[in-house]
Amino acid sequence: MSWFVELLKSNTLLLLFLVAAIGYPLGRLRLFGHRLGVAAVLFAGLAIGALDPDLKLPEVVYTLGLVVFVYTIGLSSGAGFFASFQHKGLRDNLLIVGILIVAALAVAGVQYAFGLRPTLAAGLFAGSLTNTPALAAVLEQIKTTAPADIRDQLLTDPVIGYSIAYPIGVIGMIGTIAALQRAWHVDYTSETPALRDLGAVGQKLVNRTVRITRPEISLLTVDELLRAKQWRIIFGRTRRNGQMTLVDGATHLQQGDLVSLIGTEEEITEAAAFLGEMTDERLELDRSTLDFRRIFVSNPQVVGRPLRALRLPQRFGALVTRVRRGDMELLPHGDMVLELGDRVRVVALRERMDEVSEFFGDSYRALSEIDILTFSLGLAMGLLIGMIPIPLPGGATFRLGVAGGPLVMALILGARERTGPLVWNIPYSANLTLRQIGLVLFLAGVGTRSGYAFVSTFSQSGGIVLLVTGAVITCGVAFLTLWIGHKLLRIPMSLLIGMLAGLQTQPAVLAFALEQTKNDAPNIGYTTVYLMAMIAKILLAQALVLFLQ
């Protein structure tokens, strides 16, 4: 075994890929009905890192992974992040801050009950909530305020508390989510309607034919009907006197027309009741005149602009009837902004279809590439923002760091989509690939760097007390957040477990949440509360050192 350890110590790339190769397949195994997913890479890293103190990946590995992971999450969640504040984003952040204050009070109670040094208690707080910036803030505070004769001892305390509590901070959160979703019989698919407004899930779209029976319908254009009734449907094609045409916003429907409607079953049923009657007759396309095609959006000139600004009916006589983003089916509307990698279903005149296809790009190869300029520029701006010192009460300063800075910048750029010729978002498939690679790098790096410290510090005097109290704080915070959020505030569990990952500022918990829900709601919950949770934990960790003395 010693020769193998020496081999891994001398070859960090071999260590990295070995941890990933062991952890990733373990994450696919079901444990009590659940999969850990990519989060299992963390535990593989902990196990291998525990073998030797020098068996750890360089800091740059997990830093690079963290930066890439949070930046790609921010790009994909930007629009949903700002939309969440139009709903209940303030409530969500107040919930998270309140829970963190309760956690700090619990740590203060533990410190009083067991006579722990305040510096050790602060490290326990940072570790049980897995927040390295909070630990760094505590160490900086000790360096500037502690007497020189005991400074070295006090600087060791937070690291010990943090090292013991950190792995439990991940395991406890994941375990609590798994236990409560099982106990509460959570059905993530049933939460779909509540998450549609955030763009976290797709829609089950259907195509139905309606016969117009009300003569007064002809007094209004289709655009006027949609505005008046607030229907979220698409008018596709219509047949009048045996002739098939596409419907546009200026069309006046006549009594006796057959018109195809695209949308959810509920919306179409409501519209059909007003327009006339549903019919089983299908408006089959005569593909000698009209045609339809699924087209990849790969032209940067198309993305980042509202669909109505593309003026497809006026330019090509074409109509977008569906948009597929990843695995989500979305109903297009005038304000929808297309992204690189979207697949649009277009109906157009047969002779114009090639022009439409060229307009959207329709290049699968282009979707496999990213714009290195905008990707690197966005990351660079995020890292610079993370370095800016922000003054806090009491003379302390706060920095967003390598995680917070890129995340904030990515949220802004992801919501903005483009600036002139610069398109900030990257293709959906490329985003997922980069996100996965970044997360694996981060988890492998953190795991190998924490494994030996966890085992060695646990064996020290008082290690069992710190381990148990850290587990109680972590699981208590998780239970309280989920119970208040789900049972009292009725927050969809898909969103709530993402918020819990944001409270914990922990990508491993987010990865587990995504594995459970199979939708993007956890990403939105994570980004909504991440920044506030980060600031609150830094302030509370410093307060524990200050007020427990």
How far is residue 320's CA from residue 343's CA, in Å, rounded to a whole number? 10
Q: What is the DSSP letter of 295?
A: E
- Mention every residue, 6+ apart, whose C-beta is less than 8 A from residue 175: 475
C-alpha 388, offset from chain centre? 25
For helices 428-458 and 507-517, what crossing angle results, to 10°? Answer: 130
User: Which residue, among 469, 487, 416, 425, has the nearest Cα to 165 in the 3D structure?
Assistant: 469
C-alpha 140, offset from chain centre? 31
- Mention every residue, 6+ apart, whose C-beta is less than 8 A from residue 389: 397, 398, 399
C-alpha 154, offset from chain centre? 37
How far is residue 363's CA from residue 299's CA, in Å, rounded to a whole number? 8
Please state the CATH superfamily assignment of the domain spanning residues 198-366 in this structure: Regulator of K+ conductance, C-terminal domain (3.30.70.1450)
User: Which residue, among 212, 265, 191, 233, has the nearest Cα to 494 in the 3D structure?
Assistant: 191
Radius of gyration, CA atoms only, the chain = 27
How far is residue 389's CA from residue 422's CA, in Å, rounded to a whole number? 29
* pLDDT for position 484: 94
* pLDDT for position 475: 93
* pLDDT for position 36: 62
Q: Which helix (H) or strand (E) holds 450?
A: helix 428-458
Contact 429, 95 (CB under 8 A): no
* pLDDT for position 205: 79
User: Which residue, among 112, 127, 60, has the nearest Cα to 466 in the 3D structure?
Assistant: 127
* pLDDT for position 468: 87
Contact 43, 447 (CB under 8 A): yes
* pLDDT for position 144: 64
C-alpha 329, offset from chain centre? 18
* pLDDT per residue of the chain (549 residues) written in tens, 0 to 9: 677 777 887 788 888 888 888 888 887 776 655 566 676 787 788 788 888 777 888 888 878 888 888 888 888 777 767 766 666 778 888 999 999 999 999 999 888 888 888 888 888 898 899 877 677 667 766 766 666 666 656 666 776 777 788 778 888 998 899 999 989 988 887 766 666 665 555 567 788 888 888 888 888 888 888 888 888 888 888 888 878 888 888 888 888 888 888 888 888 888 888 888 888 777 766 666 777 888 888 888 888 788 888 888 888 888 888 888 776 777 788 778 888 878 888 888 888 888 888 888 877 776 667 788 889 999 999 999 888 887 766 566 667 777 778 888 888 898 888 888 888 888 877 888 888 888 888 778 877 877 776 677 666 656 778 888 889 999 999 999 999 999 998 888 988 999 999 898 887 788 888 888 877 788 888 878 887 887 788 778 878 877 656
Residue 355's alpha-carbon distances to 206, 216, 304, 376, in angstroms, are 27, 37, 20, 33
How far is residue 493's CA from residue 65's CA, in Å, rounded to a whole number? 27
Domain definitions of the chain by residue range:
55-196+374-443+457-547, 198-366
Contact 175, 32 (CB under 8 A): no
Contact 424, 40 (CB under 8 A): no
Give the number of other CB atoms < 10 A from CB of residue 459.
8
Q: C-alpha angle with apex 304: 299 to 306, nearest 5 degrees?
A: 110
* pLDDT for position 203: 64
How far is residue 275's CA from residue 216's CA, in Å, rounded to a whole number? 10
Question: What are the DSSP calls for 327-356, one per residue?
Answer: TEEE---TT-B--TT-EEEEEEEGGGHHHH
